[in-house]
Amino acid sequence: MSFFSPKLGIDLGTTNVLVFVPKKGVVINEPSVVAVGKERGKFGKSKNKILAIGIEAKKMIGRTPDDIIAYRPMKDGVIADYRVTEAMLRYFIRKALGWNPFKPTVLVSVPAGVTSTEKRAVIEAAMKAGAKNAYVVKEPILAAIGAGIPIHEPMGRMVADIGGGTIDVAVISLGGIVASTSVKCAGNRLDRAIVDHVKKHYNLAIGDKTAEEIKIQVGAAVPMQEELTLPVKGSDLVSGLPRTVDISTNDIVQAMSRELREMTQAIRKVLQETPPELAADIIDNGIILTGGSSQLRQMPELVYRRTGVIAKLASDPYYCVARGTGIALKHLHTYQKSLFAKQ
């Protein structure tokens, strides 16, 4: 590795991309959204042209004319559109480095259940986007490092990283994963559940962006005695005209109940597969929750009710994986053996 090669840690999420630069911290936190326009090429063939990436592209969601599509090239934590993901990575790498003639060493997070083909796709996309070296590390490991958990100790630690596309649950001991699962049910699925619920119970059509807003403003994982309410604007499904309704917390808890059950089921499954000695450690240490969607109100309470094990929110849960990439980059030689899959 060249002495001059800059280093970048990328939390390549379904919903957001975070880029970590050592000594600077998180320098980019933008939506993983790309706006693509259809352009007429020679002989009337249509070809796709990338118009906007990140924040600018997210503003276009649900507001584009027919010839422009704003979409997410990552689905459930893995690459759904390879070419567009590569363009997105190139954009973020350039933006993070500014003017720098040296190619960076890039470390990218991937879900725990990722296949070797999916891993290779991420590495190839990073290399084609301008990386000198590219490594992939499983999200729960990075989340644990970023949450300040000493992963190299001979002690069972459990992390549940709840993002936009997946919930990644793992038991870590001696720097490796002992038991894990990755379930494609997380923040985005909660948003879809809210959209469906509002449509069914209020005859109102709302977009994913509004659903996310409802989840953040009034959502919770368990019913609350003191409910919050939010006026929600959308289109009446009968008249087609704009209408506003008031939506409360417990209504949203009910809307998301099936998805929340699936998420806690993933945690239970990993607990059931954990060897007894490590299970005893987890009872002592609790389950650490990381990721943006772990910030849903009362999430630790829900996990405790479903598993009987105390759950705690990591400090700054949203940034844990990105911070973990930074720490792993700093101690590249220490972590290289146990963590990296360099294809």
**Segment 158-167 mean pLDDT:** 94
Q: In which band, very low, low, confident or very high, does the pLDDT at 340 lie, cut at 50, 70 and 90? A: low
Q: Which band of pLDDT confidence, cut at 50, 70 and 90, is reported for residue 343?
A: very low
Q: Which CATH superfamily is domain 1-28+83-140+318-343 in?
A: ATPase, nucleotide binding domain (3.30.420.40)
Residue 21 above 50 pLDDT? Answer: yes
Residue intervals in the chain for CATH 3.90.640.10: 187-257
The pLDDT of residue 47 is 66
Looking at the DSSP assignment, which residues form a beta bridge with residue 170?
A: 159, 180
Residue 43 has what pLDDT? 53
Which pTM does this prediction carry?
Answer: 0.89
Is CATH 3.90.105.10 correct for 187-257? no
> Are 197 and 232 a contacting pair, CB within 8 Å?
no
Cβ-in-10-Å burial (0-12, 13-18, 19+) of 118 comes to: middle
Q: Is 79 left (phi over 0), alpha (psi -120 to 50) or beta?
A: beta
CATH topology of domain 142-185+260-317: Nucleotidyltransferase; domain 5 (3.30.420)
Quick check: 288 pLDDT over 80?
Answer: yes
Domain with CATH 3.30.420.40 in the chain: 1-28+83-140+318-343, 142-185+260-317
> Average pLDDT for residues 52-79, to the nearest whole number?
84
- Average pLDDT in the chain: 90
